[in-house]
Amino acid sequence: MKSFRVVCLLLIVSALPLSAQRTQKPPLHGRHWMAITGKPLGATAGAMMFQKGGNAVDAAAAMLAATCTMWDTLGWGGETQALIYNPHTKKVIGINALGVAPTGATAEFYRSKGMSYPPEYGPLSAVTPGTPGGLMVMVAEYGKLSLADVLAPAIQMADGYAIEAQAADTIERQKKWLKQWPYSAKVMLPHAKSGDASAATATSPAAGGATPAHDRVAGALAVAQREGPAPGEIFRQPDLAAMLSKLVESEKQALARGRSRKEAIYAAYDRFYKGDIAKEIARSTQEQGGLITTGDLARWQVRTEEPVMTTYKGIDVYKLTVWTQGPAMLQALNILENIDLRAMGYNSARYIHTVYQAISLAFADRDFYYGDPYFPPAEPVLGLLSKDYAKERAKLIRADHNDPAIAPGDPYPYQRDTNPFTDLLRKWSTSPGTPDPHEGGTTSIEAADAEGWVVSVTPSGGWIPAVIAGNTGIGLSQRAQSFTVDRAENPYNVIEPGKRPHVTLTPTLALKDGAPFLAFAVQGGDTQDQNLLQFFLNVVEFGMTVQEASEAANFNSSQMRTWLGDHKSQPGRVLLSESTPPWVRSELRRMGYDMTFAERTSGPINAIWFDRAHGTMWGGSSNHGEDYGISW
């Protein structure tokens, strides 16, 4: 009788709609505004802008500034990618604030040093800083507040804030790298002179250590063992505070001369890229062995772009174009659109296998065809996003087994053109290895307001361990590592001066009936568009709320080549949630998958869903990381 009751209970639970499942974090509800990002302090900075009368663009910029100052996991010399919905024009705008390869950064240069790719860390991995320019352009063109308003929380934090465990422990883990660069060591290792460099790294309570938070003696010991700051310690960055204050000073001076709000912000922009800040960045980068020149900084510019889009069952999904990996998600949606995913069941073996195959097909194209659209050869964007091309790719999906040899297709006929690289395409193959998949890092930012502005940002670059550029306090980007030096691997992404590397960073906006429907983004390198694809399907196909979809268990493929690190792939490797049932595991094993498991596999996804029936906003923030939202 007892077993019968258990079976009945299981049947009842399995019959519940997915929208009835409980979440570990409550959804946010807001009427007037919403601000979500990777850290609670960062979300607070966004809320402060709304309280000052700013819009969602101002809030997003303040969150960006705060999280850069917190190194979460990015710095001020990194890159910013954004999508902005303008309620007055009813258009989605793309912001391309990705740095470029500096003077002298050629494939021949890196090959002469015995490198198969630009290095993962160090001055030779740096591209020009993009985030400061992207932030200033966003505020100047689409915000309402002054640069002084937007940067005020970041300047206050740079003067000193209580550092959280994640950043503090990352500094301590990476101190061997940081010691190689004098300006980085000066900022990041305040206890290096008095601390014992050979001591074991102290582990904070928040990271799972045994030191009680209230035990002051143990806390003092933790500081003594560290060369970097301890969790909760006041972390000071005086050079960064001074640099940000210079930008505010330039804005103030321009306003005093009668310049408009926009012109004053661009005066600060010019000081960063053409004035004394630029000179110090170039000088100190070259001093430490890098290549960035003042000319590189002066020539660089933010690009305002038209994003790419596809329609999935009546929903328009927008991404930045092929200098990001974003179109790969659109390709996967095109492949999956004609398949009855709902009938397969959420995270069934058939569902995981089908979506995995679609991801593999789209990402194989990503690995060969994506690059900087401002440099020849022109990427075949129209063909890649063609619905007819997607149908042809979908025919390659085997129903019973993973295909470890999925290769790029040929989208050129679908835009009535001829592929100029058929010789390379014939020779292309997966690049098997034992990579360390990049699943963490960076942050994401979502903001929306009652006026209708919606912003989705995925900034990154300049993460710890970063080379800090002299007395500016700016941690330089490491994004050059995403370039190739061999055209056979990707003829569109070979490094050359002035060129942008392709990046994994991928904000998303979706519109339904011409109005905002979803804004969503996530951190995690090559896993980003995999997680965002599943989040979107969770909402659209399985009826999950935005918070349920943010926490829901995803899977991650390693079959594509990584765009960070060693550029290797692991065909058939899949990361699954530990909650995956044994019968699903057994079926996937039979299909040829090599499974690994983790407790949480949701992302950390941040998202906003627009409730048109009630005129409100729902916010979702995954329980995967430290992401946090505030609304009103």
pLDDT at 619: 98
Torsion (CA) 373, 377, 383, 385 in degrees, nearest 10: -20
pLDDT at 432: 62
Report residue 625's pLDDT band, with 50, 70 and 90 as the boundaries.
confident
Query: Is the pLDDT reported for residue 5 higher than 70?
Result: no
Query: What average pLDDT does range 111-125 have in this prediction?
Result: 96
CA-to-CA separations, 315 to 255, 330, 540, 574, in angstroms, rounded: 43, 12, 9, 29
Report residue 111's pLDDT band, with 50, 70 and 90 as the boundaries.
very high
pLDDT at 434: 55
- pLDDT tens digits, one per residue of 586-607: 999 999 999 999 999 988 999 9
Query: Is the pLDDT reported for residue 114 higher than 90?
Result: yes
Report residue 562's pLDDT band, with 50, 70 and 90 as the boundaries.
confident
Query: What average pLDDT does range 221-227 have in this prediction?
Result: 68
Query: What average pLDDT does range 135-143 have in this prediction?
Result: 98
Q: Of 286, 282, 391, which is closest to residue 333 (Cα–Cα)?
A: 391
CA-to-CA separations, 95 to 105, 253, 306, 594, in angstroms, rounded: 24, 27, 9, 38
> Which helix (H) or strand (E) covers residue 312, if one does?
strand 308-312
Query: Is the pLDDT reported for residue 209 higher than 90?
Result: no
- pLDDT tens digits, one per residue of 334-366: 999 999 999 999 999 999 999 999 999 999 999
Apex CA 382: angle with CA 380 and CA 383, to 5°? 70
Report residue 3's pLDDT band, with 50, 70 and 90 as the boundaries.
very low
Query: Is the pLDDT reported for residue 200 higher than 90?
Result: no
Helix axes 131-142, 261-274, angle to 10 degrees: 170
pLDDT at 567: 81
Query: Is the pLDDT reported for residue 205 higher than 70?
Result: no
Give residue 158's Cα distance to chain centre.
23
DSSP-derived letter for residue 560 is: S
Query: What average pLDDT does range 427-456 have in this prediction?
Result: 79
Q: Is the peptide bond before 238 cis (omega within 30 degrees of 0)?
A: no
Question: Could you tell me where in the chain the CATH 1.10.246.130 domains are found?
Answer: 307-442+503-624
Distance CA 481, CA 617 (A): 38
Structure tokens at 6: 């258990």
CB contact at 8 A, 403 and 396: yes
Query: What average pLDDT does range 141-167 have in this prediction?
Result: 97
Amino acid at site 221: L
- pLDDT tens digits, one per residue of 507-548: 999 999 999 999 999 988 888 999 999 999 999 999 999 999
DSSP-derived letter for residue 461 is: -
Query: What average pLDDT does range 484-504 have in this prediction?
Result: 96
Distance CA 531, CA 624 (A): 12
Query: Is the pLDDT reported for residue 8 higher than 60?
Result: no
> Which helix (H) or strand (E) covers residue 91, if one does?
strand 91-97
Distance CA 337, CA 394 (A): 10
CB contact at 8 A, 478 and 126: yes
Percent of the chain residues past pLDDT 90, beyond the cut: 84
Specify the range with the lowest mean pLDDT, choosing from 323-327, 558-562, 606-610: 558-562
- pLDDT tens digits, one per residue of 310-335: 999 999 999 999 999 999 999 999 99
pLDDT at 576: 97
User: Please, where are the H alpha helices in 159-260?
Assistant: 165-173, 175-178, 182-188, 216-225, 238-256
pLDDT at 202: 34
pLDDT at 197: 37
Distance CA 146, CA 156 (A): 16
pLDDT at 556: 93
pLDDT at 13: 35
pLDDT at 207: 32
Give buried/exposed letters for 4-17 (b at 16+ CB in 10 A, else e). Answer: eeeeeeeeeeeeee
Calculate the average pLDDT of the chain: 91
CATH tag for 307-442+503-624 (out of 3.40.630.10, 3.40.50.720, 1.10.246.130, 1.10.260.40): 1.10.246.130
pLDDT at 277: 98
Query: Is the pLDDT reported for residue 234 higher than 60?
Result: yes
pLDDT at 224: 57
